[in-house]
Copies of this chain bind each other. A is one copy, B any other.
């Protein structure tokens, strides 16, 4: 089990975690199912193409479920699976870290750029 090896499956999992759209979608699924259009509204600048593509990937990995309601107009709900929830908690920590340390990062960048 070696994340540093390209062909190790754990790397694939890490790559998924590392995908910005996947992370944002999983975060957006906090607190219950969301519709396709709701996700699109929440993640303002995602294109339909990437939204669909990423959702399919997450579904394939067993992180979200896709439920089609046979109504007109169509309605599709996405929700976290148990596996998705367990990852979600981790991503929440990441979001918290990101929001909590922007200032540090930005001042570090400013200092670095001033130097060079």
Binding site for B on A (CB under 8 A): 1, 3-6, 9-20, 23-24, 27-28, 42-45, 59-63, 83, 86-87, 90, 93-95, 97-99, 101-102, 104-109, 111-113
A43 to B: closest C-beta gap in Å:
5
Tell me whether chain A's interface is mostly helix, strand or loop, or mixed.
Answer: helix
Stoichiometry, copies per complex:
2
Q: Quick one: given A59-B112, A112-B59, are A99 and B3 in contact (CB under 8 Å)?
A: yes
Q: Are A83 and B62 in contact (CB-based, < 8 A)?
A: no
Q: Quick one: given A4-B43, A18-B23, A90-B94, are A13 and B60 in contact (CB under 8 Å)?
A: no
| Complex partner residue of A90 from B3, B9, B19, B97, CB under 8 angstroms | B97
A86 contact set on B, CB distance < 8 A: 97, 101
Q: Are B112 and A13 in contact (CB-based, < 8 A)?
A: no
